[in-house]
Chains A and B, each alone.
Chain A
Amino acid sequence: MLDVRGLTAAYGDLAALTDATLTVAPGEIVALVGPNGAGKSTLLRCLTGLLRPRAGSVAWEGTDVLALPLHAIVQHGLALVPEGRRLFGHMTVEENLGLGAFGPRARAARAASLARVYAMFPVLADRRRQVARSLSGGQQQMLAIGRALMTAPRLLMLDEPSLGLAPRVLEAIFATLVEINRAGLAVLLVEQNVRAALTLAHRAYVLEGGRVSGGGGAAALLDDPHIRRAYLGPLAR
């Protein structure tokens, strides 16, 4: 359902992504792993319209994503939980979630989505009147995921959700992702914590130096000697 072909992007003269091709099928969890600066975030920025690629195509359920107005991309069901969470820090938890349901399709499902997010993260319901930036890191990540879920997505993309989180909090959040996925939502996960990502995902792509250098079933990649050496060695988490 997501079909990315030959995606090439750059910041000025600095090539960040070269000829990247990948797909995500309905109901899948796909991980995108690789070292810092490999182009993982760049790819997600291209998919959500925050960066215009130089070449390539992004098809989503038959729609040409790159031809859509920026704000319309999320209304087609592609949601991003950005790196660093990017919450509206001075607005309340409930206002942040409400803004997630800004588009017409999401607004129609607003009440049901809100109940679902609060059921998934009860702590957000407890703190609904609190401003977002007063939350702890883990709670902020939950709010960021909650806000993305409020857009009624069919593909949830997450950029480094583990950043700055304690292992126990991370575990809880990844468990929620599995739950969300079981309910039918496809997930595209960019993650530096390769072991955690590969444990969670069905399939993965390896991105190195802006190019897709490998990929396959997540379980197989966990046993791949190159992956083990590069990402899961004694120094890796």
Chain B
Amino acid sequence: MAYLPQQLVLGILIGGLYGLAAAGLSLVFGVMKALNVAHGELIMLGGYAAFWLFALGGVDPFVGLLAVIPGSLLAGAILYWGLFGFVVRLPEEARIKNSLLVGFGLALALHALAVKLWTADERSITTPYTGTIFEIAGLTVPRVPLAGLAVSLLLIGAVHLLLTRWRWGQAIRATAEDWQAAILVGIDVRRAYLLAFALGTGLAGAAGSLVSVGYSVSPSIGLEWTLKALVVVVLAGLGSMPGTFLGGILLGTAEAVSTAFVGGPYREVVGLVIILAILVVRPQGLFGSRA
């Protein structure tokens, strides 16, 4: 078995998940100019939702998405209404720092809540098909992460279509570009913010489901996923869903391939080094449209 190509396959598989995890963060950041550092905790909650649906109701995690995604959308709307809606009322330059405060507070609260409710144990969904593989051209492809990649691609495509074809999707993009001009054409920008935040949370919920079936969830995975998502957002730049997805694949691949050269413990470093290199050459990110 060729080691490097095999690592490449695994990198692409986890990269799709990175892309999905980052898509929601990118959307919220791009539109609201507010950084939701609790994004990873939302992923964690999505993971637990899928886990309990499976453990208590026997719902297959991929079928469970049909409940987790709408639930996350609703949770996002509530979070916006109760929390992040106050942040966007601030002047643009004061938003980032206030969103950090709100986000860190939310992250701590959700983490503590998850420990209290579900203990600090690591949990993952073991379906009958977990761990099954097939082989192509001598490469081993695990089925669950492959299905995860397909779901990620599908969801990113769906959000991309929403943002380009749907009337309110266009309004969200317009608000991201220039919220004052958006008001001038009659867009209720608060509603655009609400929709963007709900969509972002929906994507986080979906990503969480895939994490709990392909990998594992515990109350403390939030920060790790926020950082991964942030790395992808910086890497890919704002403004394009397909770009964010490609950024995720790129990070996953780079991490996996580098494992072959520098060993597993350093894979986190690889992402940061790539960011640094890209920021030097292209400050707007690889696929970013902002000048």
Q: Does A79 contact B170, Cβ atoms closer than 8 Å?
A: no
Across the interface, which residues of A come within 8 angstroms of B171, CB to CB?
A: 99, 102
List which B179-194 residues lie within 8 A (CB) of chain A: 180-189
Q: Given A50-B180, A82-B181, A102-B167, A88–B174 Cβ distance below 8 Å?
A: yes
**Chain A residue with Cβ nearest B240:** A90
A88 CB contact (under 8 Å) in B167, B173, B183, B188: B173
Residue A72 is within 8 A (CB to CB) of chain B in the complex: yes
Beta-carbon nearest neighbor of B167 in chain A: A102
Q: Which B residue's beta carbon lies closest to that of A85?
A: B181
Contact of B177 with A90 in the complex, beta carbons under 8 Å: yes
Indicate the size class of the contact surface on chain A.
20 to 34
CB closest residue in chain A, given B290: A90
A28 proximity list for chain B (CB < 8 A): none
Pair A71/B181 contact, Cβ less than 8 Å: no
Main secondary structure of the interface of B (DSSP, over half): helix
Is B289 interfacial (CB 8 A cutoff)?
Answer: yes
Q: Specify which chain B residues have a CB less than 8 angstroms from the CB of A91 in the assembled complex.
A: 170, 173-174, 177
Q: Does A164 contact B (CB under 8 A)?
A: no
Chain B minimum-CB-distance residue to A48: B184
Q: Cβ of A27 < 8 Å from any Cβ of B?
A: no
Q: Determine the chain A residues whose CB is within 8 A of the CB of B182 once the complex forms.
A: 99
* Interface status of B202 (Cβ within 8 A of chain A): no
In this complex, the interface size class of chain B, counting residues with CB under 8 Å from chain A, is 10 to 19
Cβ of B239 < 8 Å from any Cβ of A? yes
Distance from A159 Cβ to chain B, minimum over Cβ atoms (Å)? 11
| Chain B nearest CB, measured from A66 CB (Å) | 15
Question: Is A99's CB under 8 angstroms from B239's CB?
Answer: no
Contact between B183 and A102, CB atoms less than 8 A apart:
no
A75 at the interface (CB under 8 A from B): yes
Count how many pairs of residues, one from A and one from B, have CB atoms less than 8 Å apart in the complex: 66
**A6: which B residues are within 8 A, CB to CB?**
none
Q: How far is the CA of A59 from the CA of B156 in the complex (A)?
A: 46
**A100 to B185, Cβ gap below 8 A?**
yes
The residue in chain A whose Cβ has the minimal distance to the Cβ of B191 is A71
Cα(A102)–Cα(B170), bound, Å: 10
Partner among A79, A89, A95, A98 whose Cβ is within 8 Å of the Cβ of B184: A79
The residue that B170 contacts in the complex, of A50, A69, A99, A103, with Cβ under 8 A, is: A99
CA distance A79 to B181 in the complex (A): 11
A141 to B15, CA, bound (A): 43
Interface residues as binary, A104-143 with B (CB distance below 8 Å gives 1, 0 otherwise): 0010000000000000000000000000000000000000
Query: Could you say which residues of chain A place their CB within 8 Å of the CB of B185?
Result: 74, 99-100, 102-103, 147, 150-151
Query: Does B93 sit within 8 A of A, measured CB to CB?
Result: no
- Inter-chain contacts of A88 with B (CB < 8 A): 173-174, 177-178, 181
Q: How far is the CA of A176 from the CA of B186 in the complex (A)?
A: 24
CB-defined contacts of A106 to chain B, threshold 8 Å:
186
Q: Which of B181, B188, B239 gathers the greatest number of chain A CB atoms within 10 Å?
A: B181
Within 8 Å CB of B289, what residues of A? Answer: 90
**Are A90 and B239 touching (Cβ within 8 A)?**
yes
The answer to whether the Cβ of A87 comes within 8 Å of any Cβ in the partner chain is yes
Q: Please judge, given known A-B contacts A86-B181, A88-B177, A90-B177, whether A69 and B188 are in contact too, CB under 8 Å.
A: yes
Q: Is A80 an interface residue (CB 8 A)?
A: yes
- Ranked nearest first, the 6 interchain pairs of A and B with the lowest CB-CB distance are A103-B186, A86-B181, A74-B186, A71-B188, A102-B186, A88-B177
Query: Besides A86-B181, A88-B177, A106-B186, 15 other CB < 8 A contacts?
Result: A48-B183, A79-B184, A80-B184, A86-B178, A88-B178, A88-B181, A90-B177, A95-B170, A98-B170, A99-B182, A99-B185, A99-B187, A102-B186, A148-B184, A151-B185
Q: Report A's interface with B, CB cutoff 8 A.
A: 48-50, 69-72, 74-75, 79-80, 82, 86-91, 95, 98-100, 102-103, 106, 147-148, 150-151
